[in-house]
Chain A
Amino acid sequence: MKDEIRDELENSPFLRKMKERQTEGFQVPNNYFRHLPNEVMHKVKEPLPAPTPQLSWQERIGQFFQGLLQPGFALALASVVVLVVAGVIFFKDKNTTIAQPAVAEVKLEDISDEELFAYVSDNINDYNHEQVLEATGDKIPELKPKTKQPSLPKIKAPKPETKEIEEYLDQSIDEIDLEDLEEML
């Protein structure tokens, strides 16, 4: 060991002690350095991988269409097209089924009074009492007070009997003018 290095290691007993040793512990395989040049020459003679050429935009477009013709991609594309066409046909049929049939237009003047009366009688249950009374110009009296008066004793409004209401409605229907009925319908 050189003296100057020994001096530099003055404060490092471990490194000084290790420096006195003749070996570092490393070994190499037998004849490694004899065989190495041939291995390296073999590697040197291997052809370099060809650099990737820069393509122009025309070549890139051409390459894209060539890619479309590859079996895997073409199969996937064909599947998508079949699915789209099937979807269009399916939904087209569904729309046709849902479509309402055309309704023949009938003018109100063509309907006789008897027919109108019969229609109203048959479908009287489709109208609530209020609609019927509105059509005749009357209103059902309010059964419950809208606002409560806490200071006053509670007075319940008399509950009209169903029979009474039916009688009232029958009477009202009788009074309905045909013109009003036309307006209602």
Chain B
Amino acid sequence: MALSRAELLSMFHKTAAEIAEKEFKSITEATVISELGIDSLGMLEIVGAMERELKVQIPDESLAGIQTVKDLLELVEKRQALG
């Protein structure tokens, strides 16, 4: 079953904290991922963890443009819709 945007955001928050090994006080959809101290390697790790949890696959090409949390969540949502 597809998760809501709020659920996806909270999943991102939890996963990012695991990967970066630190607490983030607040993450909103407008947060720029690199400003969380997450580099491209860390971002791929987060994407991988979310892909596994949600059983979706996000093609490499579409990852390229991601800057904010919103960019990523929109992609995930689109893949969820494809089922």
Q: A and B: real partners?
A: no
